[in-house]
Amino acid sequence: MSLNTELIYDKLVDHIQQEQIESFQVERSDVSELLGINFTRKSVSVTKDGRITLPELMIVSMDRDSIGQKIGLRIGSVIKQINDTEIDPKTYFDLIKEHKDFTLTMNNSYCLVFQLMLKEPSIASKITYHY
């Protein structure tokens, strides 16, 4: 890697390590109504040195006109908590089915990096996600 490329890479790594927390209030008409998002089920390392790993629960796609889109969720955001409770892919559905209205806490630090990586097919093919 050239010096400039290394500096850019280091800045990208620094960027994802600085969490950008944002909370969203979700209000649904029915507890069975989903957010219309697809997210990663497990983390995946996308760089040879392992410094950039896409985490589980990262939004990889969103349905048009879905609740997620309407409240302002972003592709690449990582779901951290529901009503101040830490979650994982196994507990996500259980927690959102418990409440018609809830607070969703997100980390937006991966948005830029993920959107850049989607342009690289060899990376995009490694990502498994929930439909």
The tens place of each residue's pLDDT in the chain, 131 residues long, gives: 676 888 888 998 999 999 999 999 999 999 889 999 999 999 988 888 889 999 999 999 999 999 999 999 999 999 999 999 999 999 999 999 899 999 999 999 999 988 888 777 666 666 655 54
Per-domain boundaries in the chain: 3-124
CATH superfamily of 3-124: PDZ domain (2.30.42.10)
**Residue ranges of E strands in 40-117:** 44-45, 53-54, 59-62, 78-82, 85-86, 101-107
Handedness of CA 48, 53, 56, 59 (dihedral sign): negative
- Tokens representing 118? 């989607």
Residue 76 pLDDT? 95
- Provide the whole-model pTM: 0.87
